[in-house]
Every structure is written in structure tokens, then in C-alpha cells.
């Protein structure tokens, strides 16, 4: 199906894969922010996850081990952020920015020895005859397990937040940590767990970039995907199903600009490359204007420090 020189089937299939890194990172950040913590270090956690996942896969010859290493590295970075902001009450915004800078520098240092190395391939799932279906076979049944895992994670997070007692406690901590503490809930422990989950998801997103999307290590390869993930959480008004929509919007724009380059549209490549970020800014402006006129969708305690002695 070709429209304007662009193969729509390939575009849709590429969209699903291109959305995975930001979808994973945004889903994790959603949980962190629902607990009342603003972690601006998503970019740093993603890039550390990218190099840790790449190194783990290369040394073990297993992409599964690589993804586990990426998740562990991201969670470790998030727990470092937790110790500084929840334990030592450091400023969340400044610490998040420092975490990103630290992650970028450390990954560049560690990654020097992996330049030009190819990781073990991540195989696509075999759906048999379903993969041969027209349109749907290419769009839906032609991906690796991480694509479907990212979709499953969105569903699980939505169910966790809306249907479980632990999800209710998490949301209560994010809305009013003082009241939650008065009821006997361990605010710091809840937030640490939420941050660790968010870091693991960001690490998985980074590992997917280095192992699948661009199967090699390149310094700075996350290319601001962590900031896009943060923007998607705001775009989604802190709702899991809208995170999926936002990630697919960004992934769709990314896939479209690549297809337009292949189709040799008479548009400067730099303008095409900036399209996903431009669309993200426009959407954020619209969402911010809507929030200004109505009720604020963000958790009430987001970014506010908590200390049990207060």
C-alpha cells in the first residue's frame, strides 16, 4: 500500500518498533511521578541502560541477559537518585539533571571499548501463518518479544494503578504524602520502589535502542529520547493508556520522517529529523494550555520533598 511514495504497511510496522524505547521509559516515569517524585534523569538512566545492556549481551552472547543488565543498570541509577532526593532531601530537579549528565559521561567512557562491535541478534517471534496475513502480518505479527512486552507492561501498569491496593497506596502517596504517612504508609519505601521500577523501565528502553533499534553502540545514541519520555507523561495527563498514544505519536512521526527521507522528498533532512521534537513541543503547549484552564492532572505532591519528622 503506497501513498505519496510511502509504504503505509512498513510505516505502521516501523512505528511499533520505534515507539518501544520511549514507551518503556515513559511507563516507568509515570509510576515514579504517580508516587510524587519528579525524576528528570530519565535520559541518563536510558543511556546507562543502553551501554550496560549492550555490554551484557556482547559478553554473554545473549540478548536476554543484555536486557536484564540494562534494567539493573537503570534501576541502580534510579536508586542513586532516590538516596540523594529521598534520603538526603536534595533538590529533585537539580539531582535529575545531574543524573543525566553523569549517565552521559559514564556511558561515553565505558562505551569506548564497544565501538564497532555487533551485539547478538534479538530474534522476532514466530507466529506461523499469522505472519503471512496481508497487512496485519507485517504490522502486528512481525516483531521481537520486547515490542509485545512493552504493550503488556502498559496494560499491567494500568491494572496496577486502578485495580490493586498497592496501586491505591502509590497514588495516595503521590497525592498527599503527609496524609499517607499519618495512615501508616511508608512513603519513602513506596517512592524508592517506584523510582527503581521507573529506572528499570528506562534501562530496558535504552537497551532496546542499542540491541535492536540501532544494533551497535554509539555515544549519545538515546538522542534525547528520555526527555521525550518525560514529555509524553505530561501529554498523557499521567494516564497509562494515553502514554501508549503519546509514544505511538512520537514513534509514528519518527517513522514517517525516515520514510520521507527514503522517498526522497524535497525537504531538508535536518527539518525532517527535527519533526518528532517539534511535534512534541506543539503537543505540550496545547496540553499545558488545557491544564491551565482546567484542573491540574499531575499528582498533587509531585516534586515536593517529604521528611517523616515534619
| Per-residue pLDDT, 294 | 56
Residues facing residue 144 across a β-bridge: 124
Assign 9 a pLDDT band (cuts: 50, 70, 90): confident
pLDDT digits (tens, 9 = 90+) for 88-105: 999 999 999 999 999 999
Cell of 98: 545531574
Whether 306 is in a domain gets the answer no
- Whether 269 contacts 261, CB under 8 Å: yes
The answer to whether position 131 is within a domain reads: yes
Dump pLDDT digits (tens) for 176-234.
Answer: 999 999 999 999 999 999 999 999 999 999 999 999 999 999 999 998 899 999 999 98
Confidence of residue 296 (pLDDT cuts 50, 70, 90): low
- E strands present in the chain: 2-3, 6-7
How many Cβ atoms are within 10 Å of 135's Cβ, its own excluded?
12
What's the rounded Cα separation, in Å, for the pair 213 and 203?
Answer: 14
Say which CATH number the domain at 199 has. Answer: 1.10.3470
What is the domain count for the chain? 1
What pLDDT was estimated at residue 309? Answer: 61
What is d(CA 178, CA 190) in angstroms, rounded to the nearest whole number?
13
Lowest mean pLDDT among 43-47, 165-169, 223-227, 272-276: 272-276
- The per-residue pLDDT of the chain, averaged, comes to 90
Kindly state whether residue 300 falls inside one of the protein's structural domains: no
> Would residue 298 count as lying in a domain?
no
What pLDDT band is residue 111 in, cutting at 50, 70 and 90? Answer: very high
Q: Is residue 58 part of a domain?
A: yes
Cα–Cα–Cα angle for 182, 186, 190, rounded to 5 degrees: 130
pLDDT at 103: 96
The alpha carbons of the chain give a radius of gyration, in whole angstroms, of 20
Which residue range forms the structural domain that includes residue 111?
2-293
Whether the per-residue pLDDT at 298 is higher than 90: the answer is: no
Name every residue whose Cβ is closer than 8 Å to that of residue 183 and which is 6 or more positions away in sequence. 172
Specify which residues 28 forms β-bridges with.
none
In a domain? residue 301: no
pLDDT above 60 (res 295):
no
Q: How far is CA 123 from the centre of its chain?
A: 22
**What average pLDDT score do residues 283-287 get?**
73
Question: What was the pLDDT predicted at 276?
Answer: 72
Is the distance from CB of 229 to CB of 25 less than 8 angstroms?
Answer: yes
Percent of the chain with pLDDT over 90: 66
Percent of the chain with pLDDT over 70: 93
In a domain, 305, yes or no: no
Query: What pLDDT score was predicted for residue 290?
Result: 67
Number of other residues whose CB lies within 10 A of the CB of residue 231: 21
DSSP 37-64: -----HHHHHHHHHHHHHHHHHHHT-HH
- Cα separations in angstroms, 164 against 6, 115, 177, 191: 44, 44, 19, 17
Question: Predicted confidence band at 292 (pLDDT cuts at 50, 70, 90)?
Answer: low
Residue 308 lies in a domain: no
Q: Which residues contact 284 (CB under 8 A, 6 or more apart)?
A: 231, 234, 235
- Location of C-alpha cell 498527599: 176
CA distance 11 to 27: 23
Amino acid at each position: 500500500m503506497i501513498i505519496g511514495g510511502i509504504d503505509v504497511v512498513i510505516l505502521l510496522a516501523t512505528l511499533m518498533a520505534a515507539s518501544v524505547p520511549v514507551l518503556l521509559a515513559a511507563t516507568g516515569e509515570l509510576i515514579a511521578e504517580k508516587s510524587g517524585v519528579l525524576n528528570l534523569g530519565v535520559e541518563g538512566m536510558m543511556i546507562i541502560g543502553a551501554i550496560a545492556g549492550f555490554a551484557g549481551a556482547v559478553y554473554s552472547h545473549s540478548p536476554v541477559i543484555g536486557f536484564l543488565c540494562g534494567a539493573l543498570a537503570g534501576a541502580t541509577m534510579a536508586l542513586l537518585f532516590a538516596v540523594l532526593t529521598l534520603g538526603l532531601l536534595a533538590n529533585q530537579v537539580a539531582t535529575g539533571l545531574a543524573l543525566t549528565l553523569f549517565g552521559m559521561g559514564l556511558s561515553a567512557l565505558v562505551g569506548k571499548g564497544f565501538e564497532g562491535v555487533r551485539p547478538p541478534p534479538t530474534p522476532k517471534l514466530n507466529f506461523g501463518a499469522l505472519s503471512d496475513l496481508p497487512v496485519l502480518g507485517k504490522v502486528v505479527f512481525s516483531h521481537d518479544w520486547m515490542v509485545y512486552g512493552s504493550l503488556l507492561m502498559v496494560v499491567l501498569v494500568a491494572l496496577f494503578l486502578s485495580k490493586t491496593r498497592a496501586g491505591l497506596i502509590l497514588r495516595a502517596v503521590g497525592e498527599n504524602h503527609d496524609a499517607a504517612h499519618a495512615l501508616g504508609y511508608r512513603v519513602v519505601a513506596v517512592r524508592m520502589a517506584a523510582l527503581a521500577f521507573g529506572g528499570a523501565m528506562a534501562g530496558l528502553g535504552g537497551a532496546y535502542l542499542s540491541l535492536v533499534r540501532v544494533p551497535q553502540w554509539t555515544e549519545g545514541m538515546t538522542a534525547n529520547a528520555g526527555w521525550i519520555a518525560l514529555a509524553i507523561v505530561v501529554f498523557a495527563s499521567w494516564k497509562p493508556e494515553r502514554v501508549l498514544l503519546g509514544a505511538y505519536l512520537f514513534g509514528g512521526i519518527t517513522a514517517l520522517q525516515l520514510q520521507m527521507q527514503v522517498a526522497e522528498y524535497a525537504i531538508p533532512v535536518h527539518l525532517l529529523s527535527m519533526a518528532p521534537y517539534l511535534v512534541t513541543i506543539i503537543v505540550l503547549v496545547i496540553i499545558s494550555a488545557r491544564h491551565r484552564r482546567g484542573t491540574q492532572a499531575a499528582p498533587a505532591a509531585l516534586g515536593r520533598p517529604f521528611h517523616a519528622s515534619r
